[in-house]
Amino acid sequence: MEIAIIGFGNLGKFMAGHLSKMRNIDLVVTDMINRDEEANKLGIKFVSLEESLKRKIIILAVPMESLEEVLLRIKDKINFEGIVIDVCSLKMFACKLMEEILPKNVEIIGTHPLFGPQSAQNSIEGMKIALCNVSSKEET
């Protein structure tokens, strides 16, 4: 499974730390700021935005106020049938933006983890995530 996390702040690092421990996941991260050293310390590959967009699953872990800007930057560079997932807290806002801006061939899932890096620092087992299927196929 090829996954990219766009945004390597607190939540992006938290997710990357958990995903990197799973088998059969090819994980890369990117950020507006070069965080190559931080990613390397966690054993995760830091790549360019363009390289991250080649993955089948793209997780947007950017601040809410940056979401529209990021979507506008990536919309013409996503040229495959993949899945874009966000982790912003305001679901209607984020889902509407993704649906309006992203190409129609991209599947969209809005998520909201009902926990954060502090409350799940030891484990994510049993933690809940709200899912909003915007345009994902049922079999995905």
CB 140 within 8 A of CB 106: no
Pairing of the two strands 129-133 and 57-60:
unpaired
Which CA distances in Å does 121 have to 1, 14, 39, 53, 116?
A: 24, 8, 18, 28, 8
pLDDT value at position 140? 47
Q: Is the dihedral of CA 99, 56, 44, 120 positive or negative?
A: positive
pLDDT digits (tens, 9 = 90+) for 68-112: 999 999 999 986 778 999 998 888 999 999 999 999 889 999 998
